[in-house]
Amino acid sequence: MMTTDSLGFILEYQDRNIYCEVFDDDGHYMVLFDSKYECEVEMDESTFWIQADGNHLPEAIILEIGFHIEKKYN
């Protein structure tokens, strides 16, 4: 069951600023761009951020989202 714990930040993507909101779901993170589902991210076994589901995003964006998650939860 998804928790209500979330974080939000501005992310530059495709030459515009997007409001990115991330919801913690027990180690899996649901990502919304401007209130619309975009993807899910998680850490793999080697503690590298990967995209687990959703619309394909560039690796740099996934890493930036992961950076914000780590900043809040670590």
What is the predicted pLDDT for the residue at 67?
Answer: 95
The answer as to whether 48 is a domain residue is yes
Query: Does 1 fall in a domain?
Result: no
Report the pLDDT value the prediction gives residue 73, as an integer from 0 to 100.
75
pLDDT of residue 72: 86
pLDDT at 1 over 50: no
Q: Is residue 45 part of a domain?
A: yes
Structurally, how many domains does the chain consist of? Answer: 1
Are 21 and 6 in contact, with CB atoms under 8 Å apart?
yes
Predicted confidence (pLDDT) per residue in 13-65, tens digit? 999 999 999 999 888 899 999 999 999 999 998 889 999 999 999 999 999 99
CB 38 within 8 A of CB 26: no
CA–CA distance, 44 with 31 (Å, rounded to integer):
17
| 65 falls within a domain | yes
